[in-house]
Amino acid sequence: MKRFLPALVPAALAAALFGICLGDPYFMDIFILTALMGTIAVAWNLMAGFTGLISLGHSLFFGIGAYVVAYGHVGFGLGPLLTWPLAAALAAAVALVIGLLCFRYGLRGYFFAIATLAFSEVAFLLVSATPWLGRSDGMMMPTEDDAARYLQFMEKWPYGLIVLAFLTATLLVGQHFASSRAGSYWRAIRDNEGAAEALGVPVMRYKLLAFVVSAVLTAVGGAFFASTFSFVDPRSTLGVDLSIQLLVFSIIGGLGLLWGPLLGAALLIPLGEVLRTAMSGFTGVNIVAYSVLLMVMALMLPHGLGGLLKTRLPRPRLGARTAFRQEDAAR
The answer to the question of residue 176 lying near another protein (CB under 8 A) is: no
Contacts with another protein by CB under 8 A: the residue count is: 28
Residue closest to 263 by CA, chosen among 155, 146, 330, 171: 171
Closest CB to another protein among residues 201, 265: 201
User: Which among 11-19, 65-73, 190-198, 257-265 is the span making contact with another protein, rule CB under 8 A?
Assistant: 190-198
Out of 66, 90, 201, 252, the only residue in the binding site for another protein (CB under 8 A) is 201
Q: Which of 108, 135, 187, 276 binds another protein (CB under 8 A)?
A: 187
Q: How many angstroms separate the first and last alpha carbons of the chain?
A: 28
CA pair distance 285, 264, nearest whole angstrom: 21
With binding defined as CB under 8 A, does residue 191 bind another protein? yes
Element (H, E) at 231: strand 231-232
In the complex, minimum distance from the CB of residue 184 to another protein, in angstroms, rounded to a whole number: 5
How far from chain centre, in Å, is Cα 24? 25
Q: How many CB atoms neighbour CB 22 within 10 A?
A: 15
Q: Which residue type occupies 314?
A: P
Name residues contacting another protein, limited to 277-296 (CB under 8 A).
Answer: none
- Could you tell me which residues are beta bridge partners of residue 140? 231
Binding mask 253-272 for another protein (x = CB under 8 A): ---x----------------
Length of the chain: 331
Using CB under 8 A as the binding rule, whether residue 323 contacts another protein is answered as yes
Give the whole-angstrom CA distance, residue 179 versus residue 197: 20
**Binding flag, residue 23, another protein (CB under 8 A):** no
Site for another protein in 203-232 (CB under 8 A): 203
Q: Which stretch binds another protein (CB under 8 A): 149-157, 186-194, 227-235, 295-303?
A: 186-194
Query: How many Å apart are CA 315 and CA 274, to the nearest integer?
Result: 34
CB atoms within 10 A of CB 112: 24
Q: With CB under 8 A as the contact rule, which of the stretches 137-145, 201-209, 246-254, 265-273 interacts with another protein?
A: 201-209
Among 181, 278, 295, 296, binds another protein (CB under 8 A): 181
SS3 230: coil
Q: Which stretch binds another protein (CB under 8 A): 25-33, 136-144, 217-225, 317-325?
A: 317-325
Return left, alpha or beta for 180; rule: phi > 0 is left, psi -120 to 50 is alpha, else beta: beta
Shortest separation between residue 201's beta carbon and another protein, angstroms:
6
- Closest by CA to 32, choosing from 161, 202, 172, 169, is 161
Question: Looking at beta carbons only, is 20 or 199 nearer to another protein?
Answer: 199
Task: List, in sequence order, the alpha helices (H) in 22-144.
Answer: 25-45, 59-76, 80-104, 109-128
The answer to whether 109 contacts another protein (rule: CB under 8 A) is no
Residues contributing to the site for another protein (CB under 8 A): 179-181, 184-185, 187-188, 190-192, 194-203, 256, 317-320, 322-323, 326
